[in-house]
A and B are shown apart, each in its own frame.
Chain A
Amino acid sequence: MDFGFSEDEEAFRREVRQWLEQETPQRWIELDPGIWEETEESWALAREFRRKLGRKGWLAPAYPSEYGGSGLTHMKRLILAEELAYGRSPISIETEIMVNWVGPSIMLFGTERQKKEYLTGIASGDIIFCLGYSEPNAGSDLASLQTRATEVGDEYVINGQKTWCSYGHLADFCWLAARTDADASRYEGISIFIVPMKTTGITVRPLINILNRHSFNEVFLDEVHVPKENLVGQKNKGWYQLVIALDFERSSIGYAAGNQRIIEDLVKYVKDTTRNGEALASDPLIRNELAQLVVENEVARMMAYRIAWMFSKGLHPSYESSMSMVFVSEVMRRTADAGMRILGHYGELDRDSKWAVMNARIMRMCLSSLSIGVGGGSNEIQRNIIAMRGLGLPRK
């Protein structure tokens, strides 16, 4: 066993850290958009930053170099993801989904033309995908999706409604799951398509999230024609492709690293703050709360490290990813809760107030952390996976 990083890996960490310090735009730091808080301005900054990352080969470092990757080892990718999140870099959730779900699926199931066109675009930061999975009646039960794709001549004609499409209003393409065989069983008749968002018949309507920002969308598809070559993989086998993609590298290290930064901010705050002449840092209850957060975040970090380590050994994590996700999502919620208890009334203030502390990160996190245990498979679904796949408990 060895819980350390090699000298080469430590040097890489320093390189990443230094690069991020140089390249993170000052304006981004001023705007300080948290998760689900992007604005048009921050989005533009993030898009530019993604291109810079792409030129460095760091946006999709796992891809083969012919498609814009840089062949970094699993451990270096872990370090990169950790530093990007810890550094509050201009990179967001949809980037991870696109790079880590859509890209690898194209790699596994796509045609050579699809690989050339889309993988290169993803890795350079020039193409944005949104995810077209969920529907109003297909959330956790994704296999009940009803959006229909019908083969007509050289095309598929798609009709239906998708929801929770993160950044669908800004995306170039939708990675869409649709039913191609209405008579087959629910898992058998699903296919995956790449749908350009500019196609006639697509209407995008904003859903305003709990932070009062436009990040999600409803996407309506009315007689949307896509060429047959936009089918990814085999017709009617989309469900199986989709399930495999859910197991792709989701180490959730970014969440643990971002949360560590928040905990460090809290530690600094209590060190610097006195109330009634007493340093907050000397309050035993506050010390206890912060210590517990540090303990839990360490567990979350190690669970995430394990995923990267398994990949580096050629193993394929499945329920281990679910464990990592469930755990870190709940640690983040508890961090927000504890932060509110520590800050008291000050924790309630939004950042336009001159009285706000920690740039209102805790109050924002109170809201944003609600999403983590819900999106991409709720914690209940993840626990089912842990129990059935990990522990072999029966389905019926």
Chain B
Amino acid sequence: MDLGLSEEQEMLRKSARDFLRRECSKQLVRQLDESDEGYSSELWRRMAELGWMGLVFPEKYGGSGHSFLDLAILLEEMGYNIVPGPFFSTVVLGGLTILAAGNEQQKMEFLPKIARGELILCFALTEPTASYDAASVKTTAIARDGEYVIRGTKLFVLNANVADYILCVARTKETKDLEDGITVFLIDGRSPGVTCRLLKTLARDKQCEVIFENVTVSEKNILGRKDKGWPIVKDILQKAAVAKCAEMVGGAQAALDMAVSYARERVQFGRPIGSFQAIQHYCANMVMDVSGSRFMTYKAAWKVSEGLPSALDAAIAKTWVGEAYGRVVLSAHQIFGAIGFTMDHDIHLYYRQAKAAEIVFGGADFHRAVVAHELGL
């Protein structure tokens, strides 16, 4: 057992932290939050130059062959700093799915471009039911002369507004087994019949409604096997849940650091408010939540990295970290008091992130149901 980072991982963490402090100011974060694109092409390019997009891809696909655990370390730093943009949807939801399920030709075509920062991807799974089960996939793909015609509405699709390619989960066969007959397609975002509308959201992240109206796609663009796409989706949802936890750990750590430093400086009744036991106990609870979150996240990430069964640990992590981040940032708000209730202050950026992160890829109740299932209940 070794709960520490390797020297190389420490370097990755430090260089990511230094880079983001320098290049991704809160001013930029706010500016991008308020923009329609939600990302800076300049920052995107520089992140690609640092090798972040290709971090987990093998070298033959233009990556540097790092582990999922290393990616989690990077995501923690991105969460700490809040980095707006399509990194998560491109690398985690898009890249890792292609890496896991794509054929050699698809990998050669997409992964090097992702690694160079030339492609933005998004993952279109959820529909108006807003849930992550196979039964909710109602979008259809009907075969016609070596092509498929896609019809349906996808909702809450992150970064579809800027995506070059959409990984679209569609139903190719109606059977009793709802997990059967699902196929994942790689669809050019500029295909005729694709309409994308930006949704205005709490976190000001770029979630979209994507309508597919008789969109044709070649059967060559099927990812994995026809009708057998649900295991691909399940696998990526598990990894995405853990990756999101890593981001949340970073965000929670940032909220804790901000609150503690304020509690040390803010003077009321002639003493720093951090000397009052009520505030100290909030902070103690926060650091317990952050530490616990970090262990659960890295334990699950380690299992993914090692190729061990990780369904239970991923669900435990998403359950705990999602709720813990919420508690941490709420306590931070309480410590900041009135100043935290302003747009000028940074803490609300984290509060918004926490709310969105808790929901995405299944909330705590969803994952508790997974845990119960894994217990054999």
Q: Which residues on the B side are within 8 Å of A382 (C-beta)?
A: 284
Q: Are B302 and A3 in contact (CB under 8 A)?
A: yes
Q: Which residues on the B side are within 8 Å of A290 (C-beta)?
A: 372, 375, 377
- Distance in angstroms between the alpha carbons of A393 and B273 in the assembled complex: 9
Q: Which residues on the A side are within 8 Å of B264 (C-beta)?
A: 392-394
With A288-B365, A309-B3 known as contacts, the answer to whether A281 contacts B377 (CB < 8 A) is yes
With A287-B368, A386-B287 known as contacts, the answer to whether A393 contacts B316 (CB < 8 A) is no
Q: Which chain B residue shows the least CB distance to A75? A: B1
With A299-B295, A395-B275 known as contacts, the answer to whether A291 contacts B372 (CB < 8 A) is yes
Q: Are B275 and A396 in contact (CB under 8 A)?
A: yes
Q: Which residues on the B side are within 8 Å of A282 (C-beta)?
A: 377
- Determine if B319 is an interface residue (Cβ-Cβ < 8 Å): yes
- Determine if A176 is an interface residue (Cβ-Cβ < 8 Å): no
How many A residues face the partner with a CB closer than 8 A?
46
Q: Which residues on the A side are within 8 Å of B272 (C-beta)?
A: 393-394
Q: Are B298 and A1 in contact (CB under 8 A)?
A: yes
Q: Are A393 and B260 in contact (CB under 8 A)?
A: yes
B residues 30-87 with Cβ under 8 Å of A? Answer: 69
Q: Which chain B residue shows the least CB distance to A396? A: B275
Give the shortest distance, in Å, between B110 (CB) and chain A (any CB): 29
Q: Which residues on the A side are within 8 Å of B367 (C-beta)?
A: 291
- Distance in angstroms between the alpha carbons of A238 and B153 in the assembled complex: 72
B residues 199-257 with Cβ under 8 Å of A? Answer: none
Q: Are A302 and B295 in contact (CB under 8 A)?
A: yes
- Distance in angstroms between the alpha carbons of A79 and B292 in the assembled complex: 20
Q: Which residues on the A side are within 8 Å of B368 (C-beta)?
A: 287-288, 291-292, 295
- Determine if A2 is an interface residue (Cβ-Cβ < 8 Å): yes
Q: Which residues on the B side are within 8 Å of A350 (C-beta)?
A: none
Q: Are A1 and B281 in contact (CB under 8 A)?
A: no
Which of A288, A295, A309, A383 lies in contact with B1, CB distance below 8 A? Answer: A309
Q: Which chain A residue shows the least CB distance to B313? A: A298
Q: Are A2 and B371 in contact (CB under 8 A)?
A: no
Q: Are B302 and A394 in contact (CB under 8 A)?
A: no
- Distance in angstroms between the alpha carbons of A383 and B372 in the assembled complex: 32
Q: Which residues on the B side are within 8 Å of A271 (C-beta)?
A: 376-377
- Determine if A141 is an interface residue (Cβ-Cβ < 8 Å): no
- Determine if B2 is an interface residue (Cβ-Cβ < 8 Å): yes
Which of A284, A383, A384 lies in contact with B285, CB distance below 8 A? Answer: A383
Which of B271, B288, B371, B375 lies in contact with A386, CB distance below 8 A? Answer: B288
Q: Which residues on the A side are within 8 Å of B299 (C-beta)?
A: 3, 302
Q: Are B263 and A291 in contact (CB under 8 A)?
A: no
- Distance in angstroms between the alpha carbons of A294 and B317 in the assembled complex: 11
- Determine if B107 is an interface residue (Cβ-Cβ < 8 Å): no
- Determine if B117 is an interface residue (Cβ-Cβ < 8 Å): no
Q: Which chain B residue shows the least CB distance to A310? A: B3
- Determine if B274 is an interface residue (Cβ-Cβ < 8 Å): yes
Q: Is the interface of A mostly helix, strand, loop or mixed?
A: helix
- Determine if A388 is an interface residue (Cβ-Cβ < 8 Å): yes
With A288-B369, A288-B372, A313-B4 known as contacts, the answer to whether A323 contacts B277 (CB < 8 A) is no
Which of A2, A267, A296 lies in contact with B320, CB distance below 8 A? Answer: A296
Q: Are B377 and A384 in contact (CB under 8 A)?
A: no
Q: Which chain A residue shows the least CB distance to B277? A: A384
Q: Are A2 and B302 in contact (CB under 8 A)?
A: yes
With A295-B316, A391-B260, A394-B275 known as contacts, the answer to whether A287 contacts B284 (CB < 8 A) is no
Q: Are B292 and A303 in contact (CB under 8 A)?
A: yes
Q: Are B1 and A387 in contact (CB under 8 A)?
A: no
- Distance in angstroms between the alpha carbons of A303 and B377 in the assembled complex: 26
Q: Which residues on the A side are within 8 Å of B319 (C-beta)?
A: 291-292, 295
With A1-B5, A291-B371 known as contacts, the answer to whether A303 contacts B280 (CB < 8 A) is no
- Distance in angstroms between the alpha carbons of A84 and B369 in the assembled complex: 31
- Determine if A305 is an interface residue (Cβ-Cβ < 8 Å): yes
- Determine if B141 is an interface residue (Cβ-Cβ < 8 Å): no
- Distance in angstroms between the alpha carbons of A284 and B377 in the assembled complex: 10
- Determine if B283 is an interface residue (Cβ-Cβ < 8 Å): yes
- Distance in angstroms between the alpha carbons of A127 and B6 in the assembled complex: 44
Q: Which chain B residue shows the least CB distance to A315? A: B4
Give the shortest distance, in Å, between B366 (CB) and chain A (any CB): 11
Q: Which of A281, A290, A383, A390 has the most CB of B within 10 A?
A: A383
- Distance in angstroms between the alpha carbons of A296 and B291 in the assembled complex: 13
| Chain A interface (Cβ < 8 Å from any Cβ of B) | 1-5, 75, 267, 270-271, 281-282, 284, 287-288, 290-292, 294-296, 298-299, 302-303, 305-306, 309, 312-313, 323, 326-327, 380, 382-384, 386-388, 390-396
Complex A-B: 24 CB contacts under 8 Å: A1-B69, A1-B298, A2-B302, A3-B1, A75-B1, A267-B376, A287-B377, A288-B368, A288-B372, A291-B319, A295-B320, A298-B320, A302-B292, A305-B3, A306-B3, A323-B284, A327-B288, A387-B281, A387-B283, A391-B284, A391-B287, A393-B264, A393-B283, A396-B271
A-B pairs, top 5 by smallest CB distance, nearest first, are A387-B280, A291-B371, A291-B368, A287-B372, A302-B295
